[in-house]
Amino acid sequence: MCPSFFLKNKHAVDPEDRPSSPTKPSEMIAPKVRRPLFRLSEMPISIRIRFMVFVSILVSILFLLVIMMLLLTGTLTAGQKDAAEYFSRSLRQAKADVELDFGKTSMQAIEMSKTVSSSIEEYLSNYDISPADLQSRPDILEDILDAQFERLIFSLEKSGTSGAFIILDATINPNLENAESSRSAVYVRNMEPNAVSSGTPNMTMLSGYPEIARDRGYSLNSIWSMEFDLSLMPDYELIREASIGEKELRRIFLWSEARPLPGSNEDVMFCIVPLIDESGQFFGVCGFEVSGMLFKLRYSPDTTLYKRVTSLICPYKENRLLMVGKSLGGGNDNSIRTILSESQSDVSETAMIVAKNQNSIRIYRFVSSAQTISITLRNRYFVGIHDTLALLPSDSVFIDRSYSLMMLMPEHEYGSMLGKNNFKIIALCASFIIIGALMAVFMSRKFAAPIIHDLNRLAAAGDGDVSADDPMKTPEIMAILDQIRSRHPQKEVSDEADVLFDDFLSKIRRLTPTERQIVLRYLEGNTTTEVLDSMFISASTLKTHNSHIYTKLDVVSRDELQLYFRLLEKTGGLEDLRKSLNISMD
């Protein structure tokens, strides 16, 4: 008899019956969530699947831990950080180099202006004319420039730039149609400013009197012109106006925007300084040229790690417009200029603006002040950074003119680079997940196999015991089996029991048909009265038969006979006994 309280608590308690204030952690979970979880936990799920889920959860937790570690250590964002650092470092270095070199060039241009001005003024004193009156004596322009040629060449070589010029505010033939924009000049280009040549430097005359060059063994540039076309130097008039009443050359020089030389696709920037006489009169300009090729050779970023990076120097307007259409570029091909020329947009008015800031890196897009931006450019984005350059002194008359240095990479290159950087990590994670899943499946099978094997054997054994031929593999199940055995000891079906059983069956054969009927009725569980009624015999006859049965079966009482019946029942031999009794009866 089980105590009633035990019976009451035999079944699981429905969670909804629990008291309202939670006392256990599981009670803190909302009922709506708890109920399905509870039902889930109560559902019959095979050992293998349970274990597979367990291992999968373990793998997932480990994976999340790894991800967290990668995030905390910044490994996942390493590519972005490296790129940002690269841009920052490259820009910093290039900016320092550009400002230093351009600053030196500016100083040398100012120095050249002073010496040339002084020299020309002295020369003209022989003709009793001032430099501002040059136009009155076009016949001596060639001589003036001829006298300055060696100085110009010397300055050019010293500056290391790609060109040097002296432009006088006079033209040899004021009667020509284009006289307004034509100026007498000597302009020499160094085609290889980076090379130190043991022979004749690779210099050609771009503008000037041909005999000045030929007398000294210099050739004329392929796009040579006799005089300088001022349309190439729109800042000429600005400089002229700025020089009125201003003697400090360092305040009135400037760096121009980049423009292509006429008849070529080579862009150049000028450092322009006015020529001023003692009385402060403007009579021309002089200066140096920095070509696109020179900029590329001197200020290209290191492309060892990041191949398609471009550096650009360009005007910076309204604090946001980077006028890339008027820039000099360095770096590998696919430069901005190449893209602009291919887009067939109005290059000169094309600019870039910052579309987005992404941590330390910016994303740039194209805009144009002249017209609608072409589709080609609209869909091109670049990634990088920029910074303003200090090319002019703070008290310059042209201080509003701003320049910027940019380091850029095409956005798709940047994305591809980041993707590749993270590819290994992603591949690792994916492999981790897949291997973990496979291991979960594999291990769950391995784990469950012996358990299932032992359970299957138990099921197969039924009321009997498991065979010794196929030993159990699970100690826990073996322990349970031992416990069951100890509570319900089974007589082992030994060879002796078999002998006993066979002996009993053989003795059954000795019984007469009437005696077998009686034994059968005892086996069916009939009482003495029921036997007498069913067989229509007297009590004394039954007593006699019983005595004969006992003697033949070698038992002493009906109880012992019943014991044999129970033994046979347990060992599964009852059916055989019934058959024997029936066959015998037949």
Partner 1 sequence: MYTKFFRSKALVLIVCMVFSFATVLSGCKRSLLNPDKPVTITMWHNYGGQMKILMDDLVSEFNRTVGEEEGIIVSVTAIAGSKELHEMLVSSAEKQPGALALPDLTTAYPKTAVLLEQKNLLCDFKEYFSKSELEAYVEDFVAEGYLGDEKLYVFPIAKSTELLFVNRTIFDRFASACGFSIDDLGTFEGISHAATAYFEWTDAMTPDIEGDGKAFFMADSLFNQALVGSRQLGSDFLFETDEPNTFELDTRSEAFSQIWDAYFNSAAQGGIAVFDGYSSDLFKTGDLVCAVGSTAGVLYYPTEVTYSDNTQEAVDYSYLPYPVFEGGDKIALQRGGGMCITAQSAANRLAASIFVKWFTAPEQNLRFTLSSGYLPVTSEAFEELFETDLSSLTGKPVSEQLETILYMYEEYQFFFAPYSENYDALQKNFETTLRKEVSSVRDQISNQSGSDTDQSFSGFSDDVLRQLQEGEN
Task: Point out which residues bind partner 1 (CB under 8 A).
Answer: 171-173, 176, 182, 191-192, 194-199, 202, 209-210, 214, 217, 219-220, 222-227, 263-266, 293, 296-297, 303, 307-308, 332-334, 338, 342, 420, 423-424, 427-428, 431, 434-435, 438, 441-442, 445
Shortest Å, Cβ 331 to partner 1: 9
Shortest Å, Cβ 101 to partner 1: 18
Which residues, in sequence order, are bridge partners of residue 189? 163, 204
Shortest Å, Cβ 160 to partner 1: 12
Shortest Å, Cβ 575 to partner 1: 36
Shortest Å, Cβ 60 to partner 1: 18
Q: Which is nearer to partner 1, 332 or 526 (CB)?
A: 332
Q: Which is nearer to partner 1, 197 or 506 (CB)?
A: 197
Cβ-Cβ contacts under 8 Å for 114 (sequence gap 6 or more): 249
Which residues, in sequence order, are bridge partners of residue 279? none
Q: Which is nearer to partner 1, 203 or 508 (CB)?
A: 203
Could you give the CA distance from residue 183 to residue 174 in angstroms, rounded to a whole number?
10
Q: Which is nearer to partner 1, 176 or 390 (CB)?
A: 176
Residue 522 φ then ψ, to 5°: -65, -40
Cβ-Cβ contacts under 8 Å for 533 (sequence gap 6 or more): none
Q: What are the structure tokens assigned to 343, written together?
A: 């887009």
b/e for 193-217, b at 16 or more Cβ within 10 A?
A: beeeeeeebebbbbbbbeebbeeee
Cβ-Cβ contacts under 8 Å for 76 (sequence gap 6 or more): 67, 70, 422, 425
Q: Which is nearer to partner 1, 217 or 245 (CB)?
A: 217
Cβ-Cβ contacts under 8 Å for 78 (sequence gap 6 or more): 421
Q: What are the structure tokens assigned to 199, written together?
A: 């022979």
Q: Which is nearer to partner 1, 214 or 247 (CB)?
A: 214
Q: Which is nearer to partner 1, 56 or 303 (CB)?
A: 303
Q: Which is nearer to partner 1, 119 or 334 (CB)?
A: 334
Please give the radius of gyration of the chain, using alpha carbons only, rounded to the nearest integer. 54
Q: Which is nearer to partner 1, 225 or 546 (CB)?
A: 225
Shortest Å, Cβ 198 to partner 1: 6
Q: Which is nearer to partner 1, 182 or 368 (CB)?
A: 182
Shortest Å, Cβ 308 to partner 1: 8
Shortest Å, Cβ 145 to partner 1: 13
The angle that helices 78-125 and 292-299 make with each other, rounded to 10 degrees, is 130
Which of 301, 323, 303, 305 shows the shortest CA–CA distance to 313?
Answer: 323
Shortest Å, Cβ 434 to partner 1: 6
Could you give the CA distance from residue 305 to residue 262 in angstroms, rounded to a whole number?
36
3-state secondary structure of 196: coil
Shortest Å, Cβ 305 to partner 1: 9
- For the chain, the farthest-separated pair of C-alpha atoms sits apart, in whole angstroms, at 178
Q: Which is nearer to partner 1, 53 or 583 (CB)?
A: 53
Shortest Å, Cβ 220 to partner 1: 5
Separation of first and last alpha carbons in the chain: 47
> Would the CA dihedral through 247, 248, 250, 252 be positive or negative?
negative
Contact 392, 363 (CB under 8 A): no
Strands 163-168 and 282-291: antiparallel
Contact 287, 102 (CB under 8 A): no
Shortest Å, Cβ 182 to partner 1: 7
3-state secondary structure of 29: coil
Amino acid at 18: R
Q: Which is nearer to partner 1, 263 or 415 (CB)?
A: 263
Q: Which is nearer to partner 1, 118 or 197 (CB)?
A: 197
Which of 346, 394, 334, 400 shows the shortest CA–CA distance to 373?
Answer: 346
User: What is the phi-psi region of residue 290: left when phi exceeds 0, alpha when psi lies from -120 to 50, beta otherwise?
Assistant: beta
Shortest Å, Cβ 224 to partner 1: 6
C-beta contacts of 68-71 below 8 A and 24+ residues apart? 70/425
